[in-house]
Amino acid sequence: MAQRYHKNPEALAALSPEQYRVTQRDGTERAFTGEYWDNHEPGIYVDVVSGEPLFASVDKFDSGTGWPSFTRPIETGPGGANVVTRRDFRLLVPRTEVRSAHGDSHLGHVFKDGPRSAGGLRYCINSASLRFIGFDDLEAQGYGEYRRLFEAVEKGDDMGDSEEPEADRAFSTSKKAVLAGGCFWGMQDLIR
């Protein structure tokens, strides 16, 4: 039987003020302050409110922005997508907002400046909207079906976390400049 996810009142009541501001008031946490921006452990990230699976560590990469960045959601396609997008016109530069499908939590934004070899998208996500479930805890917490993602990587199957060609290594070989506006303000469009 498929798991049903929804906005859970008990989970809402347990949110920290920052988690509530981000997920329910469409806020953005400050760069380099979130719990998961630099997490490299194998596992999945679920909606802190509904528990729906959103992203996997096999699709996470270091974008240099200070927010967890992923190349794709854990589930895609009709009937399986737990991540939805909508246009966001709250700033001068229109952006694409990312929300959880069942919990309706604000997660962050998606941009078209991710690794080309993985589709070119960068899901820039707030740590405050996520709960991390480590690989060893997947089964116990009811997410055992996602162990397959990590088993495929161990066998050498390409799950989007493969070594990128030289042209796509801009994040790891370029010089670093800290831009205070970050992806929240659409600053990346100004420096392209």
Give φ, ψ of 46 to 5 degrees.
-120, 160
State how far Cα 188 lies from the chain centre: 18
Q: In 10 A of CB 7, how many CB atoms?
A: 16
Strands 83-88 and 95-100, bridge-based pairing: antiparallel
What is the SS3 assignment for 97? strand
Indicate if 124 belongs to the active site: yes
Task: Pick the closest to residue 14 from 43, 51, 42 (CA basis).
Answer: 51
Task: Pick the closest to residue 45 from 11, 86, 75, 1 (CA basis).
Answer: 75
Catalytic residue among 49, 124, 125, 130: 124
Tell me the C-alpha distance between 104 and 91, whole Å.
Answer: 21
Sheet order of strands, 43-47 included:
53-56, 43-47, 130-134
Q: Which residues are catalytic?
A: 124
